């Protein structure tokens, strides 16, 4: 294994870390804003007249937080996965199955970027009820989060191809596959 593929993987992982570092505060800020908006909604309903736009803002924030939070979970491998069958396979077959799975995920995410972008364009004429905000901004989270997940899947794929697994660590060797 030459140094060039490892340096490419390292560069890709650095970009992944930069994206992650930028995304975490966005999700945190969205959560804080959601808590603030819901608190304002509750206080205004109990003590004053209800503030009309709070329900709409809370809904839009929840949509964005959900998609971007799912992106962070995807990057950390926190989504539900049933891996016992794959882990029971011999090393080489396990690696092929993992690469195939990542390729399927990558294909799905790329198609979701395209479909999400098209949906965003179709809904561009629609305005939200209270804020009169273009729904393009609400639906933009679909292609954005799918593009980020596609990037993460691509980095995982490169890690699987170069080093044997998505985390960059060498794949465990089995008796059928002697160490290189």
- What pLDDT, on the 0 to 100 scale, is given for residue 144? 97
pLDDT in tens, the chain (180 residues): 457 788 889 999 999 999 999 999 999 999 999 999 999 999 998 888 888 899 999 999 999 999 999 999 999 888 877 788 888 888 889 899 999 999 999 999 999 999 999 999 999 899 999 999 999 999 999 999 999 999 999 999 999 998 866 554 444 433 444 444
Helices (H), the chain: 3-47, 53-75, 84-87, 91-122, 135-139, 141-162
- What pLDDT, on the 0 to 100 scale, is given for residue 56? 94
Can you give the pTM of this predicted structure?
0.83
- What pLDDT, on the 0 to 100 scale, is given for residue 171? 43
With beta carbons less than 8 A apart as the criterion, state whether 109 and 150 touch.
yes
User: How far, CA to CA in Å, does 58 sit from each of 4, 46, 109, 168?
Assistant: 47, 18, 26, 39
- Picking from 113, 111, 101, the residue whose alpha carbon sits closest to that of residue 165 is 101
> In angstroms, rounded to a whole number, what is the distance separating the alpha carbons of residues 43 and 41?
6
- What pLDDT, on the 0 to 100 scale, is given for residue 82? 77
């Amino acid at each position: 294994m030459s140094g060039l593929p490892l340096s490419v993987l390292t560069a890709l992982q650095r970009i992944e870390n930069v994206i992650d570092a930028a995304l975490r505060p966005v999700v945190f800020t969205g959560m804080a804003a959601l808590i603030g908006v819901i608190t304002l909604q509750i206080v205004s309903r109990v003590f004053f007249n209800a503030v009309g736009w709070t329900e709409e803002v809370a809904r839009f924030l929840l949509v964005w937080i959900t998609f971007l939070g799912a992106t962070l979970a995807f990057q950390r491998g926190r989504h539900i996965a049933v891996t016992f069958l794959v882990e029971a396979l011999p090393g080489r077959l396990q690696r092929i199955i993992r690469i195939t799975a990542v390729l399927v995920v990558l294909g799905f995410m790329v198609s979701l970027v395209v479909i999400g972008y098209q949906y965003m364009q179709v809904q561009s004429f629609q305005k939200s009820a209270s804020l009169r905000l273009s729904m393009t901004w609400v639906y933009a989270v679909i292609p954005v989060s799918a593009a980020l997940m596609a990037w993460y899947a691509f980095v995982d794929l490169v890690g699987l191809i170069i080093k044997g697994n998505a985390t960059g660590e060498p794949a465990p060797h089995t008796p059928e596959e002697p160490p290189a």
